[in-house]
Structure 1
C-alpha cells in the first residue's frame, strides 16, 4: 500500500487479539477505510510516522503498553490525533476519565459497528496529528495546511519563486501573507540573502522615504549618522512590502522610480546607489478599486503585480482549523498554567463551524485565550464560546504584539550587523547565549542576513 497516495481515510487499528484484529480490519476495509494493524502499543508507535493515520482505534487492555498509555504517548508526540478506545471492561467512570484526558471516543465491547463508523468519520473530519506531505517541505514548513485551495497557492508560489518577477499577495488580514512571502524567499535563489519586511501602514509619511531609501548624516533634524535604508538592507535578498495599499501617493512615485532604475538615492545624497532586490508586496485592500479612484498609481500597480497570489480566508479552508488549533496549542503548552491536552470534540466542532473574520490570527488569539483560562486538561466548548464572544476578536494579544515587536527588532539589528551575532547581541545589550535563545524562539537564522 502506498500510504502517501491513498485517498481513503487512514485508520490504525491496535489490539493484541489477532482474531478480533482480523475481523475488525476486514469490516473497516469494506467500509471504505485504509486500515493498518498493530498487535501492541509499541508496534503502533513505530507505524505512526510511516502510516500517518487520521484516527487510531485501540483496545484498552493489552499486554505491555495498554490503551491509555498508548494514548498518552500519542498525545505527547502527535497533538490532536484522535484516539478511540475499545474495551470489554469499560464502565461509565472509565469513559468519563478517558474523555477528560482527551480521548476522542470510548466504546464498550460488544459495540455497534455503525456507531464505531460514525465516531471514525467524526474524528477524521476534525483532523489533527499529521500535516499533509506537501507541507513538510522545508521552504513552506511554517505554513500548516491540508487544504486543496491553499496547496494550489503554494504550488503556484513555488513556481513564481524561481523567477525574479515581483509578486503581489492578496488576502484578508490575518491570512498569513508574511508567512507566504517568507516561504517564497526560502524557495528562491536569494534564500541565503536577507529577508527584510516592512509594514507600509506603520511608517509615518514623513519618514517612509528615509526608511526605504536611507539618508545621509545631517539630511534633516535628528539625522545624526548615515542610515542605509531597507532597500540596501535587503540587498541581494527579498524586500517584503506589507500593506502596500496604505502607502501614500508621494512615496509611491519614489518607490516606482527605485524599481524602474534598480537604484535608490538616500535622502540628502546626490548620487544613486544600485540595489539588487526582489520585491514581494501584500495587501488586504482592493488595489483595482484604489487605482480607479486615484489612490494608487496604475504604473506602480503593474510593476508590483507581475504575479498575483490570492490567499483563501480561514473560512474557505476549514479542514485546516484542527491542524492549526493543535499547532497553536502545542506551541503554547509550556506557558499553560496546567497540562492542557487538547480540545473536547464539542469545542473543536465549534472552532470548525465558526466563520473567523480575523482568520488565522484570530484563531491563534482564541486558542491562547482558552489555554490561559481553562481549568481542565481538555478545553471545553464553553471556554471556546467565551473566547469567541470577547472582542474585538481580530485584535492581537499583548503577547502576540510583544513577540512581533521583538522579532522585528531582532531582524533590524541583524540587518545592521550583517548577521554578526556577537555584534547584534552587544547592540541588544544581551550576552550571546541569551541572544541565541531569542533567535531560536523566533526561528530566525542569522546566516540569512550575511552579505556575500
Structure 2
C-alpha cells in the first residue's frame, strides 16, 4: 500500500462518512470526506486523490454520475461504490463501466480495505494523485485539467505494450508525450528512436526504417540496420505518420504484424522487439475516407489514442510555460532576465498561438535575447508575436497597402509635405489624396522642413 495514500470518501450520510474516516485512518490512509458528488469534484480539483469511495444513491449527482465525471477528468483514478440498495444489475452496470469495486452496505471492512489496497497499488498511486508531478519529471509543465487528463491517460497506457497514436496540431508537444510514455514504461532502459516520416523523401524512408544491404541501390556502399533494429528492445516513435506513402504503409503493417523487418536488398527477415508510438497533425479520418491512409494500419497503430489540446485551449498553462522557457533561455544566453511584466503575461494569455507551444517558446527566446532589463516588457512580447505571426509571403492586400504607404511617404518627402504638389504628382485631386493619407495615418506637416 502507498504510504498515506489519500482516499476521498463521498456519502450524504455524515455518520457513515465519519465511520469510514476512522476506519481508513486506522488502516494508514489519509481520508477526506464529502457529502455530495459535486463537492467531491471540487475537492479533487483542489487536491488529487489515490482512490474514491462513494455511495451509489445520493441526492443530485449519484455515484455512477460521479464516476463518469471522474473518468472523463481523471481516467486513472479508481472508484469503489458502496450502496445500501445493491443489486446484481447495479453491480453489473458499475463494473461494465469500469468501476474498481462494488460493495453493499453494511460492507465488510476487510473487503473494502483489500479493494482499496489493490486500487492504490494498480491505479491511483501511479496516475491520479501524481499525474502533475510525473508530468514535471518528463518536462511537462501544466495546471490544465485537460492536460492532466492527457497525462493520466499516457501514464496509464505506459505500463502496457499497446501501440499509441498521438494526435494534435503542430507544436502541441506530441514527441514530449511519446518520450514520457517510453520513460514510464518497462522499456525505459531500452532505446527511444524518433523519426519524422514527413521530413524524409519517400525514396529514402524505407531504407531509413528497415535498413538496407550493401549494393541495394546506388550509393549503398555498406549495410545499414535501420531504425526498427536500432529501437530493438525499446520504442520507435513515428512522427507525422499521416504523411507516409501508401506503398510504405503496406510494409510497415507487415513489420508490425510479424515483428520482422527485411532490409532493402536483403533476403532474410530480422526479428525485432519494438513498441511503436506514432503521431500526426493530419485528419486521419479524412485520410481513411479518401484512401490515402490504410484502415488496417490505422487500427494497428491506434490501439490507444491520445489527443493533445492546442495551447489556446489550455490558457492557464501559458504563464507557467512562459516562465519555464524564460528560465531556460536566460541560462542559455547568459541573460539576467527573471520575469515578465503583468502586461506581457496578459498579452501572452490572450494571444491566439497558432503555432502552439513551439511558437510560445520562440516568442520567449526572442524576448529574452532582446531584453535589456530584468523584466520583459509588454512591447517586446508584442513585437515577437507580430514577427512570429508574419507570413513569409504577404497577401496581395498587405503587399498593396505596404506599397501604397511607401509611395505616399516618398511623395511627401519629395514635395516636403506640400499636398497640392504631391496630389498632382500622384494624378489625384486634393480630396482624394487627403483620404489616402488619412487611411495610412500620414500627416503632411511631419514632412515639412
Aligned position for 1:256: 253
User: Does 2:200 align with 1:194?
Assistant: no
Gaps of 5+ in 2: 9-128, 393-449
Give CA deviations for 1:194-250 in whole Å, capped at 9, x if unaligned.
000000001110111110000011111111111000000000100000000001111
Distance 1:182 1:337, change over 3 A: closer
Gaps of 5+ in 1: 7-131, 396-452
* 1:334, distance to aligned residue in structure 2 (A): 2.5
Equivalence map 1:19-418=2 (5 Å): 134-137=131-134, 140-336=137-333, 338-392=335-389
**Distance across 1 between alignment mates of 2:210 and 2:136:** 29
1:241 counterpart SS class:
strand
* 1:187, distance to aligned residue in structure 2 (A): 1.1
CA contact (8 A) 1:139 1:184 kept: no
**Distance across 2 between alignment mates of 1:246 and 1:280:** 15
* 1:184, distance to aligned residue in structure 2 (A): 0.2
With normalisation by structure 2, the TM-score equals 0.57
* 1:369, distance to aligned residue in structure 2 (A): 0.5
2:201 counterpart SS class:
coil
Deviates more, 1:369-378 or 1:238-247: 369-378
Distance 1:222 1:392, change over 3 A: farther
With normalisation by structure 1, the TM-score equals 0.57
1:391 counterpart SS class:
helix
Larger RCO, structures 1/2 (Cα 8 Å, 6+ apart): 1
Structure exhibiting the larger radius of gyration computed from Cα positions: 2
Give CA deviations for 1:289-314 in whole Å, capped at 9, x if unaligned.
00101111111111111100000111
Distance 1:309 1:194, change over 3 A: same
CA contact (8 A) 2:146 2:309 kept: yes
1:367 counterpart SS class:
helix
* 1:394, distance to aligned residue in structure 2 (A): 9.7
1:360 counterpart SS class:
helix
Distance 1:394 1:249, change over 3 A: farther
CA contact (8 A) 1:361 1:394 kept: no
* 1:140, distance to aligned residue in structure 2 (A): 4.6
* 1:137, distance to aligned residue in structure 2 (A): 2.3
CA contact (8 A) 2:197 2:243 kept: yes
* 1:176, distance to aligned residue in structure 2 (A): 0.2
CA contact (8 A) 2:135 2:151 kept: no
Give CA deviations for 1:157-183 in whole Å, capped at 9, x if unaligned.
111111111100000100000000000
Deviates more, 1:181-190 or 1:370-379: 370-379
* 1:5, distance to aligned residue in structure 2 (A): 11
**Distance across 2 between alignment mates of 1:367 and 1:273:** 46
The list of structure 1 runs, each at least 4 consecutive aligned residues, that deviate by more than 6 angstroms after superposition, is: none
1:168 counterpart SS class:
strand
